Structure formats: structure tokens, C-alpha cells
Structure 1
Amino acid sequence: MNDKILSTLAYNEIKQAIHQYLVSDAGIKELNELVPITDSEKIQRWLDETKDGADILRLEGGIPLPKLSDITSQMKRLAIDGVLSGTELAQVGRVLKTTESVTEFFDKLNEKQIELRLLYKFITNISSLPEISQRLTRSIEEDGRILDTASPKLAQIRHQIARTESTIRSRMENYTKGNESKYLSEGIVTIRDDRFVIPVKAEYKQHFGGIVHDQSSTGQTLFIEPGAVVEYNNQLRQHQLAEKQEQQLILAELSELLKPYQTEIENNAHILGHLDFINAKARYAKQQKATEPIISSQNVVKLRAARHPLIDPKKVVANDLELGDTYKAIIVTGPNTGGKTITLKTLGLVQLMGQSGLFIPANENSEIAIFDDIFADIGDEQSIEQNLSTFSSHMDNIVSILADADEKSLILLDEVGAGTDPQEGASLAMAILDDIGSIGSAVVATTHYPELKAFGYNRSDTINASMEFDTKTLKPTYHLLIGIPGRSNAFEIAARLGIKESIIAEARELTDQDNQDINNMIADLTAQKKAADDAAAQLKVELAEASQLHDELKVKYDKYEKQKDRLIEDAKDSANQIVRDTRNQANEIIKDLHQKQQLSNQAVKENELISAKGAINALQQNPQLKQNRILRREKKRHDFKKGDEVFVKSYGQMGTLMDKLSDHEWEVQLGILKMKIDEANLDKTKQPSSNTKPARATIKRSSSSGMSPTLDLRGHRYDEAIAEVDRYIDSALLAGYPSVTIIHGKGTGALRKGVTKYLEKNKRVKEFGFSPANAGGDGSTIVKF
């Protein structure tokens, strides 16, 4: 890609905008080296990396990277056995520490199953050196200072230094306070030549003895090291020399430790710089609301709502641009200040960005081509970087372009043929465009010449275009209209500005009829296109709404189908569980009947037992059956109404439905008793014929009922206990017991109170009271019916 196009289209300003998001020297270096390329596979790889960076930014806030310095020179010094300074070691240590944190970051991304195109594979090339990283962290501070923990000897020396300094300050403070302070210019302790001194008035220089290290500019103050601390200062100096020597040994040891890993460390720094560059591209894409372009396999350009990235987002106008499919040349006509030049630059700059692996400021599913080179001749008052150009400079540019362009080039020509006689300029412009057509390059050219409107109609692979102009507001809209040439709006503008109608009419008469016909045709085409665009936009909105409604309905329908099937299966499972429970109960009943038969010698027919068990088994729900006649029959058997004769399964008695007490409970007349029975405990019997005498219900206590005269409620919850008492009282009455005992325990007294409250309301209870003291006392209640 030629350097001139990068300057003409302000490509470096895009790079400068990305620069603000970089934190590493390696990333800055990579950005500085960035240029558009023509290798489609490499471009796609760069776009994949940018997409990974954008996804990480959206989901995790970006790849965590601190500010990193360039360590290339440090690695070169290690290669020649050099010793790194504390600052240089700190910079290397920051690279190693960042390497560990970034590796851990991507491991966590992988655990979260966040999909990335390339970066998981890319990060495997990084080399983790945890032991060396820990050693550097333990030895060197972030600012390059050597820590006490770098070696035991250094820690000991620094302890001695601190102790000696403390002793010296303590001695010196004796001079700065009390009677001795009157000999001082100031009551402070300071340092000269790395030795502790005090500021002594010149006339008292002999008072403290010692060594004079400095004097003030006036000579009135001498900085004296008192004789009493000279030896301590000597000791301090020795300790400081020992500290410096130990620090040099530590730096040499750490440098030697890094030397075998120069290649790995340099590679890590390069990878971190590349990740920083990816981060910056992603952040810039977010700021621009840019999207990933599709690399066209047919080498065509299809930009959806493309925007110039260097224009204020609040002011920029987006345009659709297509080139290379049905046409390879676009002729944009129309007046100045309509946005023609910016449209050219938008197309060229978006292509440069896409071929640099950057997201482009356009809507999703936009396509870019891969051009071997992009050429431009742009120079007018709207140019971002250039001033007006002469006709000769335009021609120089075009000569150079035509010499270098080929079928894989994109050429952008602004005001082609301008700067000379209009008729000659128009002819020259058409000849230039014909030559470009013979080369096979894609071209977008802007012009004022009306002759090029006909050129656009008469040339294959060429289409006219214009920038929309609102004649009502007398302002351009900056929208590109493909397929419609620009028209002159001079008469309309003049009329709206107040020029007399007679002048406008005379001007029209003086205008060539062909030009008037062309302008009328263009006006008609513009109106038709606007109407078609408005209708298409409305249809697009309606289609989007219909599609959204269709998708929502489909989702809800699928959800309904899945839920319906699940509910049916759940219901069948529940029904099967009920049937299993019922079958178990039936088996218990049959077993009990067998026992009664053996005890009382009553005849119970085996075929009746088998028939009863078979009827219960028939209730089993088959998950594969959509219709179950047995279940329908069972449902009909439980379709109760007042006056129905029913069989109460828990008591083995026939009864009559009196009133429905709730959704699932009925009041049933059992002989002389009225009882509250759940529907699940009732079976509907056939209505007797009118001439059949109803059987008289009798209630008789059975000696083999197996029912205990005592109910133990201990350990039951309150609601459960009261329900159990209600059922037990009914059973006791049917069994014929004159009295029963209810054991509720003492505890908190809540259960006892609940039982008492229930018994007070039960009309079948004659009286009740606590058991005698030797039989449980107030822990149980005796109930008489």
C-alpha cells in the first residue's frame, strides 16, 4: 500500500486514536508498525483476534494488563553478560508477574466456557516462570529498590545501619536541645558529604571539636561533625559501603538467574504487547461502535451505514456503499458542500481499516474487498489535510495513478478534470474514466460536469450517483443516492431566496432544452426513489415486527408443547404413584380379608379378591397411551352430586352424599352419623331401580377391627395431629367404642390446647377430661361419646 494514500485519507489519525488505549511499549511498537496488508488469511487472523478482544472487553472488561516497559535492551545486555540495575530488573519482573496473571485470567475464561477464536491457542505460547518471578518479587521493589528480603546479609547490614543512625541522631539531639543549642544557628541535624552534621555559629567552631564539612554562603554558619560522633559516622560509612557491595552482588546474582531464559522472557513480552494491542483495537472498536467486516470472497465492497470515523458521531451521516458486484465504477455528481469528498474518504479509509485487521465504523454484515493498492486524487477546500490543488498537480497525480493501477486497485478521484475549461475538462474526465475501465480497477469519481451523467448511463459496469439535496431547506442531507445523477438546483434555490419569478422564467428559456429535460428526469427519478425508499423502509419495519412476532409466537408455542408434554408425563407419573399406593393398600385389604376368613370362617370368594385386585391394576397409567378408558371411567365414578349413594372405602360402609363442604370434601350420612369424607375415599355406586327397596345401613362393632382405643399424638405437628384426631374419632364411633384415650403429652401445651378446642366443638363428644395422675395426668385426655 502506497504511503501517500495513508496520508491523504488520514490513516495515521486512526492509529493515534488507538494509541490512547495502549499501556505497553511493545504494544505501541506494534501499532507504529501497523499498515494495511493484502494477505486475506492474515487479515482474517487479525480480525479474529480483534473479535476475541471485543468479546473479552464486553464480558470481562478487557484483558488485565499493567503498564509495561520495553525490555529489549535489558535482554541484549544479558546476552553480553551485563548486570541489570534494580529498575531494569523490576521491569523484567513486572513482565513475568503479568505473564502469570494473564495465564490465570485465560484459564478462568476457559473454565467459564467463553468461546474465543484464536487467543486460547495464542496464549499457550507463553512461558510461565513462577520461581524466577517470585524471586524477583521478593528481591526488587516496583520502583527498582532492593528489598531487605533480597538476602539475609543485606537485611543484617541494613539493621546495623538503622541502629548506628539512631545512635548518631540520639547523640546529635543532645546538641540541638538544651544549653548546647545556643551555639547553633538552627536546632537541626543535617547531612553533608554523607555524614551527619550540625549548623554551628562560626564564632563557636572550637566548642564542639570535630570536622568542618561545609559553610553557609555568608560564612556565618559552619556545618560541623562533632568529635563525639566521628567514630559513629565512620561506622555508618562502613556499613553503607557494605550495603552497596551486597546490593551489587544481589543484582549480579539476579541477572545471572535471568540469563538462561532470555528467549522465553522476550517472547512473553512480545505476547503481552500483542495482547495489549488487541485490547486497544477492541476498545477503539467499542468507542466507534464498529463491527467486524466480512472479507468478500468475490472481492466486492458492501458497506452498510458506513460512517467516517474522524467526524463527530453526532454529526456524521451514514451511507450504504456498494462496489465491484454489478458495477465497478460510480460517478457521483452534484454541487459543492454536498458530502461527495467525505463519501470518497469514508470508502477509502474504511477499506484501509479493514485491511489492517480493525473493526470498521459500519453496521454488521458489511463486506470489504482486498485491494492490492488504493490510489486517491483528492484536494479541495474540504480536504482534511490539503489545500486547493492546481490542474497540473491533479494531472501529475492521475498520471502516477494510471501507471501503477491494476485490476485489483481502488481509485478515488475527486472533481476529476476540474481546474480547466469545462468542456475540455469533461471530455478529459470521460477519457480518464474509460482508461481506468480498460485497466479493470474499481473507481469512484466525483464531478460537477453534467456531461458525465450521460457517461454513467452509457458505460457498462458504471452507475450514476448523487448527494441528496433538500430543496425545501436549501441544505444538503449528505445521503448518497445510488442510481440517480445529481441535478442542478440553481433555479429552485434562487426562487426561494427571493429572485423574481420573471427572471427565473427567462433563465429557464435560455437554458438548453436537453439540460432542462435531464434535470426534470432527475427530479422525477429522485422523487420516485425517495418514495420507493420510504416504502421499503416502512416494509422493513413491518417485516421486522412480523418476524419478531413470529419468532416470539414460535418460542411460546414450542415452550407450550414442551410444557404440555411434560405436564402430561408428570400427571401420568403421579397417577401411577397413586395406583401403586392403592395397589399396596388393596393387597393389605386382601391380606386382612384372608386373615378374617381364617379367624371367623366367613366365606370370601377367591375370584372376588382377584377381580378386585385386577380392577385396581387396571388403573395403571401407560405413558404411551393418549386415551385411557379406565381412567375416564374412574373419573366418571368420582363425578359426585348431592344425594348420590357412595361407598366409603376407609370404613367399608355405604352412605349418602348430603352436602359438599369444600372442593374435595363431602358430608356423608353413614347410618345415624354424619361424617366429613374426602372424595378420594369415596366410590360412586349405581343408582338402585325404583322398585328396589333400599338396604338399611347398620353399624356394628367388629371384634376384629384391629383399632386401638388409644391414639398417641406425640411427635406429630399441630395441623397433622388435629386432622388425625378428627379421623380417629370417626373411626372410634364406627367401631362402637364408648370412650377412647388421646395421648398428647405435656410439652409446651399447644397440642393439648388444640385437642381440647377440637373436642369442645365436636357434637358427638359427651364429655372429656384428663387422665388420672397414675395414668398420665394432663398428658392424655379421656373422651366419652
Structure 2
Amino acid sequence: MNRKAYHTLEFYKIIERLAAEAGSAGGRKRCMELEPMQDLAAITAAQQETEDALTRLYRRGGVGFSGTRDVRASLKRLEIGSTLNIPELLDICSLLETAARAKQYARQNEGREEDPDSLDPLFDTLEPCTQLSSEIRRCILSEDEISDDASPALHHVRRSILAANDKIHSTLSGMVNGSARTYLQDAVITQRNGRYCIPVKAEYRSQVPGMIHDQSSTGSTLFVEPMAVVKLNNDLKELYLKEQEEIEHVLESLSNQTALCTEELTQDYEILTILDFIFAKARLAKDMKATRPEFNENRRIYIKEGRHPLLDPKKVVPVTIRLGQEYDLLIVTGPNTGGKTVSLKTTGLLTLMGQAGLHIPAAQNSELAVFDDVYADIGDEQSIEQSLSTFSSHMTNIIRILNEASLNSLVLFDELCAGTDPTEGAALAIAILSHLHKMGIRTMATTHYSELKIFALSADGVENACCEFDVETLSPTYRLLIGIPGKSNAFAISRKLGLPDFLIEDARGHLSEQNESFEDLLSDLESSRRTIEMEQAEIQEHKEEIRSLREALEKKQEKLEAQRDRILREANEQARQVLQEAKDYADETMKNFHKFGKANISASEMEAERAKLRERMKKTEKAMAKDVAKKPKKALKASDLHLGDTVKVLSLNLQGTVSTLPDARGNLYVQMGILRSQVKLTDLELVEEAVITAKQFQRTSAGKIKMSKSANVSTEINLIGMTVDEALAHLDKYLDDAYLAHLPSIRIVHGKGTGALRKAVQGLLKRNKYVKSYRLGEFGEGDAGVTIATFKQE
């Protein structure tokens, strides 16, 4: 593709944002080299990789690639037998550890039912060479330090160095703090040229025999290596040389081990940079809230609610753009700063992004075509160096586009043929667009020329579009409306800003009748569009309301059917039990009567047996009878009710609260949950509830004294055999009753088992506000299978 379009459409800015998402230098390099592709299979594969990486980001989080180091130069040195230095080995270790982390990241969901994706082969090909990376980490502590345990010989040499250092310091300390103290400038031990010395005053040089290694800037201090430590310093120097030899041996050994993994290292680097690049695309898509576009080879574009990726996502207005199905030429008109150029750039930039394998900031199921090239003439093309005007520069670019564009190209023109005489410019623009239209090239152009609006209305395969403008607020809405040409708002804007009406009418007089009729037509179209949009919005709102009502009705119907099935099951079960019981009793009765027939049984005994049978039948009939019309236990009078009394509505079998007192006809309102209904006094029964207090009894609304059942509460509760939830519910109620009964302490039996029930019980006791303390039972009380709780005393 021509790179001029990359700059014009600001594709390079997208590439810079993509590179910023990469974690390694190799990944950033791949990002910076990304270009749109023309092969549909390659584009589809790249889009699939981006989608799979994005899916992994949402499911498992990200994976870091910052440890991916380019070790290819080091591997080349290994091929010729060189020994790697410490930084090179650490880079190789970092690369292998990054490969191991990536491998582990890919294995996070192993064992779960998850479809393989396009990234699995890349992750599977990674070879972490764990043994090599572990050995490097064991031997090398940092870029400046090799571990003592890197080799036995190195460990022995370093122990010898420590011993030699200690011996030198001991000897010199004896001199500094002993006989030579008066000859020294300071009582310190120092080093010069890697050898331990003491600072001797110049006038006492002869008093301290040894080798002079340095002197102070004034010459008053000489740094002398006493003869007593010369041999020790020599030994120390030799030990340091041996240490360096051993370090070289360690590095040589690590280099030899690394040489065995050069192919794996080269492969790991390539794969990790590819994965870093793919995940950078996924992170960019996540930041942009982008989706995967569908691609076609029919040169059809359908961008649904596309957003320009370089604009503020909180302010950008989505645009829907169609091109290449009913029409192949789209002419966009409208006022300046109305969003025409943004729509143009959005189309071109999203096309480049999609063909580069990037997701686009648009709604799901957007479609893009695969173009061989994208041409764009947008912005100020004035060239001072070539002494070209704006029009000349644009025309030079347009001529190049006309010469190079093919059937499989996308052409974008901003303000086509502007900057010259309007009549001639409009004629040129129509000629250029007609030529491209005849060639079947997908073209999108913005313009101010009214002649182009008429051209789009009259030509087949050409469509008008406009960017909406709100005359009331004098501001664009940035919405792209396809199928409607943009109306000139010059007169309306001028009137809104305060231009006198006589000047506006005078200006209208200069318009030709044809232009004025065309503007009126556009006004009618605009008015019709607004009306249709409002009606469509209302229709959509009604559709949503109907859908929600239908869903609510279906849920209610499902609930009713479930309740009906449950009631039928319970009724059938009860009927079966009653019939089985009747059958059993009938069998027993028949046996008795057979026995009576054979035995000499008196008539009084047989009559007694028949009486028992009749009594049993009456009880069965009562159990199976349906109590349709219940009557209150006691007829209520209006004076018996007070506001707030709890009553039972017999006809509904529901409890509620009195909201109003009965009127003259005996009607009143009762609140039953969310239901407030008018009922008759004769349909009510007063519910007498006990009022529980800690120290005294209270009168109920019926005027009777009710005693709390918590006055006779056991001092022990047994929870064995219950689930944790059942046990906690029983215990919570029991604690309330026991506390109201003023029990000083209680015994809770929960058993030992797994300890889960005991832990739950003690957790509830810990949260209870009136439990003072609790402990496990002692020997004889039940040990760990019992908890003793003590209440707070008021």
C-alpha cells in the first residue's frame, strides 16, 4: 500500500500506541513493522490471533514479556567457541524464565473444557530449559557477583581468601594498636594497589620497615606495607587470581551447557516476541473496547457505530457507514466542523487497522472489505517548497490517485476540488467522481457543492449523506445520516446569531428559483427524517415495554404451572396415603368379622367393633373434606378492632394489619404484605400474639395476658445430626428464648466429628451481643463435643 495514506489517515499513531503495549524490544519492533495485508487468509489468521489473545486476557489476565532479551548475538559467539560473560548469561536466564512463565500461563486452564485456540501451538513450542535457567540462577547472584557455591573449588578459594584477610587484619591491628602506634598518622588499615598498608608519618619512615606504595598529596604521610604482611599480601594476591580462574571455569561450564540449547533459545526468542506482539494487539483492543470485524471479498463496508480511535472515547460520537452494497459512491455534505472529515478518516483508518489484523472500535458484526490500496486526499496539501497553492497540491494528489487506483481500491476525498471557482470546482468534482463511479471504485467524498448533492440524487449507485447540525444550539451533533443530503444552514445560523431579517430576505432574492426549491426540498426531507426518527424511537420504546411485559407474564405463568404441579403432587400423595390407610383398616376389619363369624362372639362386642369402624370413617371424611366456608372462632364487633391489630382474612387465608376502622357497613381495609384490600368484618379473625419481653409480661390487643414460652426453656440444646445451616437456625432461636428466660448459662451439644459444626456454633456465639463468654466442655461435661455459654446479666 502507499505509505502516504498511512500519514494522511494517522495510521502511524495507532502503530505507536500498539508498540507502547508491547513488553519487550523485540515485540515493539514487530509492532512498528506492522502493515496492512492484502491476503484474506493472512488477515483472518491475524484477526483470530488477536481475538484469542483478547479472550485469554479477559479469562486469565495478562502475561508479561518484559524479560524477553535478544540473545541471538550471544548465541553466535557460542557457535565460535567463545565464553559468555555474566550479563549475557543472565539475559539467557531471563529469556528462559519468561518462556517458563508463558508456558505456565498457558497451562492455567488445563483440565477444563476449553476449546483450543490459535495460540496453543505457539505456547506448546516454547522450551523453558528449566535445568539450564536454574543452574544459571544458582551460580550467578547478580551482574557483579558469582555464588560461593558455584563450584567446590571456588568455595575453597574464597574460604582461603577470608582466612588470609583475617590474618592480615590481625597482624596489622597488632601493629596499629601496639608498638607502631606512635609512628602512624592515623590508627587505620588501608589499601593501596590492592595491598594492605598502614599510614606512617614521613619522619618515622625508618622506624617501620616495609614497602612504600603511596604517599599523601602533602608528602607528610607514607602508605607502607610492613614486612610482616608482605608474604601474606602476596598469598592473598595469588588467591584472588585463583578465584578469577575459578570464575572463568564456572562461566565456561555455563556457556557449554547453554551451547546445547541454542536452537531452543533461538526458537523461544522468536515465539516470545510473536506472542508479545499478539498480546499487544489484544491489549490495544481492550483499551479501545474494539471488536473483531468480519471481512468480505465483495468490496463491501459496513461499519456499525464506529469510533475514531484517536479521539476522546468519552466525547466521540459513533457513526454508522455503509458503502459498496446498494451504492459504491457516498457523497457527504454538511457544515464545517460537523464531522465530515472524521467520518472519512474513520472509514479509512478502520480499514487499515482491520487489514493489519487489529480489532476496530466499532460494534459487533461490522464488515470490512479487503482492498489492495487505500488512497486519501485529506487536509491542507499546500506546498511552499514547490510553489503550489492548496488547489494545485490537491489536484496533483488527485491526479496520482486517478492514475494508480484500481477496481480493488478505496478512495477518500475531503472537500474535493475546493479552493477554486465554485462553478468550475463543482464541475471538476462531478467529472472525477463520475469517472471513479464508472470504474466501480469504492469512493467516499465530502463537499460543500450543491451540484454534487443533485448529482448524487440523480445518478444510480451514488448516495447522499450528511452530518447533522442542530440550528437551535448552533452546534453539530456529529451524527452521520445516510440517504439525506446536507442542507445549507447559512441563513438559519445567521438569523440565530442576530443578522437582520431584511438582509436575509435580500440574500434569498439572489438565490435562483431552482436553488431555493432545492433548499426547501432539503428542509422537508430533514423535517420528515426527524419525525420518522421520533416515531421509530416511540415504536422501539413500546416494543421494549411489550417484550418486558411478555417476559414477566411468561415467568408468572411458569410459576403458576410449577405451583399447580406441586399442589397436584401433594394432593395425589395425600390421597394415596388416605386410601392406603383406609384399605389397611378395611382389611383388618374384614379379618375381625371373619374371626367373629367363626368364634362365639357376643352381639355387644360386634356392635362395639362396628361403632369403632363408624368413628374411624367419620375421622377420615373430616380429613378429606374441604373446608370451603370458614367462620371466625368468635364474631368480631367494630369496637374489638384497633389500628395496627393483626388479623386473619379467612377467605384469603392471609394475615394482615388493620389499616382503617370498620365503617357503618362493616367494611375496612387490611394491609397484607404489598396487597391492601377492602374486606368485611365478618371475614376477619383476630390474631392474638404473645408479646415477649425480658422482665415482664404484656397485654395483647385482645386484652388477655400472654406468657412467653421462653419462661420454661431447657438448659441444653442438642444439635447432633443437623446440617450447619439447620443447627445455626435452631441455636439462634434457642439463644433468644434462653436469654429471655434469664438462664445464667446453657449447654450446647454439637459432637466432635469434623469440627465444622463446633466452629460454626462458636462463631455464632462470638457474634451474639448478649453472650458473655463460652468454652468447650471439661472432663465429665462432654469434652470437645459440648460448648458451655454464659449470658450477660442485666
Q: How is 1:737-756 mapped onto 2 (pairs within 5 angstroms)? A: none
Match of 2:505 in 1: 505
* In 2: Cα distance, 1:360 partner to 1:411 partner: 20
1:240-251 → structure 2 map (5 Å cutoff): 240-251=240-251
- Match in the other structure for 2:52: 52
Amino acid at match of 1:308: H
Instruction: Indicate the SS of the match to 1:252.
Output: helix
TM-superposition CA deviations, 1:524-567 (whole Å, max 9, x none): 22222233233334444544555456557657766876797689
Q: Cα distance 1:505–1:176, how it changes in 2: closer, same or farther (>3 A)?
A: farther
| Aligned position for 1:365 | 365
Name 1:527's counterpart in structure 2.
527
Alpha-carbon contact 2:382-2:393 (below 8 Å) kept:
no
The alpha-carbon distance between structure 1 residues 558 and 283, as it changes in their structure 2 partners (threshold 3 A), is farther
Offset of residue 749 of structure 1: 12
CA gap 1:496/1:449 in 2 versus in 1, 3 angstroms: same
Contiguous gaps of at least 5 residues in structure 1: 604-632, 642-662, 664-715, 721-747, 752-785
Q: Residue deviations 1:658-687, cap 9 Å, x none?
A: xxxxx9xxxxxxxxxxxxxxxxxxxxxxxx
Counterparts in 2 of 1:310 and 1:164: CA distance versus 1, 3 Å: farther
> What is the identity, as a one-letter code, of the residue corresponding to 1:239?
L
What is aligned with 2:95? Answer: 95
Q: Corresponding residue for 1:282?
A: 282
TM-score normalised by structure 2 residue count: 0.69
* Partner residue in 1 for 2:76: 76
| CA shift for structure 1 position 301 | 1.4
> Structure 2 counterpart of 1:304, which letter?
K
What secondary structure sits across from 1:20 in the alignment? Answer: helix
| Distance 1:14-1:638 versus aligned 2 partners, 3 A rule | same
Distance 1:391 1:382, change over 3 A: closer
CA contact (8 A) 2:297 2:370 kept: no
1:265 aligns with 265
1:219–1:274 Cα change, 3 Å: farther
How far residue 47 of structure 1 moved from its aligned partner, in angstroms, is 1.8
Question: Aligned pair in 2 of structure 1 residues 404, 546: CA closer, same or farther (>3 Å)?
Answer: farther
Change (3 A) 1:185 1:558: farther
Indicate how the Cα distance of structure 1 residues 330 and 211 shifts in structure 2: closer, same or farther if over 3 A, else same: farther
1:317 counterpart letter in structure 2: V
Question: Is the alpha carbon distance of 1:277 and 1:500 closer, same or farther for their aligned partners in structure 2, counting shifts above 3 Å?
Answer: same
Q: Could you say what the CA RMSD is over the residues aligned between the two structures, in angstroms?
A: 4.1
Deviation of 1:463 after TM superposition, in Å, equals: 0.9
Mean Cα deviation higher: 225-234 or 474-483: 225-234
Does 2:182 match 1:162? Answer: no
2:479 corresponds to: 479
Does the 8 A contact of 1:380 with 1:388 survive in 2? no
User: Counterparts of 1:549 and 1:226 in 2: how far apart (Å)?
Assistant: 103
Contact 1:90 1:144 in 2 (8 A): no
CA distance in 2, matches of 1:297, 1:551: 41
5 Å-filtered alignment, 1:549-568, equals 550=550
- In structure 2, relative to structure 1, the CA distance for the partners of 1:191 and 1:432 (3 Å cut) is farther
Q: Aligned partner of 2:53: which letter?
A: G
**Is the Cα contact below 8 Å between 2:20 and 2:28 reproduced in 1?**
no
Shift, 1:410, TM fit: 0.7
Shift of 1:36: 1.0
What's the offset of the Cα at 1:155?
Answer: 2.1
Equivalent-residue separation in structure 1 for 2:85 and 2:442 (angstroms): 57
- Checking the alignment, whether the CA contact within 8 Å between 1:23 and 1:66 is kept in structure 2 is yes
Q: Secondary structure at the match of 1:524?
A: helix
Alpha-carbon distance, 1:199 to partner = 4.7
- Asked if 1:236 corresponds to 2:253, the answer is no
* CA 88–719 in structure 1, closer or farther in 2 if over 3 Å, else same: closer
State the Cα deviation string for residues 596-644 of structure 1 (Å, max 9, x = none): 99xx9899xxxxxxxxxxxxxxxxxxxxxxxxxxxxx989754499xxx
Supply the distance in 2 between the matched residues of 1:224 and 1:297 (Cα, whole angstroms): 88
The match for 1:435 is 435
Aligned to 2:301: 301
Give, in angstroms, the shift of residue 201 of structure 1: 4.6
Using the TM superposition, give the Cα deviation of residue 416 of structure 1 relative to its aligned residue in structure 2, in angstroms. 1.1
Letter in 2 for 1:323: L
What secondary structure does 1:445 align onto?
strand
How much does 1:518 deviate? Answer: 1.6
Aligned to 1:23: 23
Is 1:196 aligned to residue 183 of structure 2?
no
Distance 1:33 1:412 in 2: 25
Q: Determine the structure 2 residue equivalent to 1:391.
A: 391
Question: How far, CA to CA, are the matches of 1:568 and 1:75 in structure 2?
Answer: 80
Q: Percentage identity across aligned positions?
A: 39
Answer yes or no: is the 8 Å Cα contact 1:341–1:382 preserved in 2: no
In structure 2, C-alpha distance between the alignment counterparts of 1:153 and 1:513, rounded to whole Å: 105
Q: How many residues align?
A: 617
Distance 1:286 1:146, change over 3 A: same
Does the 8 Å CA contact 2:74/2:84 hold for their aligned counterparts? yes
Q: Secondary structure of 1:467's partner? A: strand
- SS of corresponding position for 1:124: helix
SS in structure 1 at match of 2:365: coil
- Contact between 2:486 and 2:522, CA under 8 Å: does it hold in 1? yes
Report 1:617-636 matches (<5 A): none
Matches within 5 A, 1:372-771: 372-380=372-380, 390-544=390-544, 546-547=546-547, 550=550, 638-639=624-625
Following TM superposition, by how much is the alpha carbon of 1:32 offset from its aligned partner in structure 2, in angstroms? 2.0
Give the Å deviation of 1:162.
Answer: 2.9
The Cα of 1:443 is off from its aligned counterpart by: 0.9
Q: Deviations over 1:473-528 (max 9, x none)?
A: 22222222212222222222222222222111111111222222222222222222
Q: Distance in 2 between matches of 1:575 and 1:195?
A: 108
**Kept in 1: contact 2:331–2:446 (CA 8 A):** yes
Residue 412 of structure 1 deviates from its aligned partner by 0.9
- Describe the SS at the equivalent of 1:141: strand
Separation in 2, partners of 1:164, 1:568: 98
**Residues 218 and 586 (structure 1), Cα distance of their counterparts in 2 relative to 1, 3 Å cut:** farther
- 1:84-112 alpha-carbon deviations (Å, 9 max, x no partner): 21211111112222222222222222334
* Higher Rg: 1
CA distance in 1, matches of 2:485, 2:338: 13
Indicate the residue corresponding to 1:313 in structure 2.
Answer: 313
1:255 to 2:255 alignment: yes
Tell me the secondary structure at the aligned position of residue 493 of structure 1.
helix
Question: Matches of 2:747 and 2:149 in 1, distance apart?
Answer: 70
What aligned pairs does 1:111-130 form with structure 2 within 5 A after superposition?
A: 111-115=111-115, 117-130=117-130
- Mapped partners of 1:98, 1:33: distance in 2: 23
Distance in 2 (alpha carbons) for counterparts of 1:156 and 1:570:
87
Structure 2 CA distance, aligned partners of 1:117 and 1:541?
41
* Residues 23, 64 of structure 2: 8 Å contact kept: no
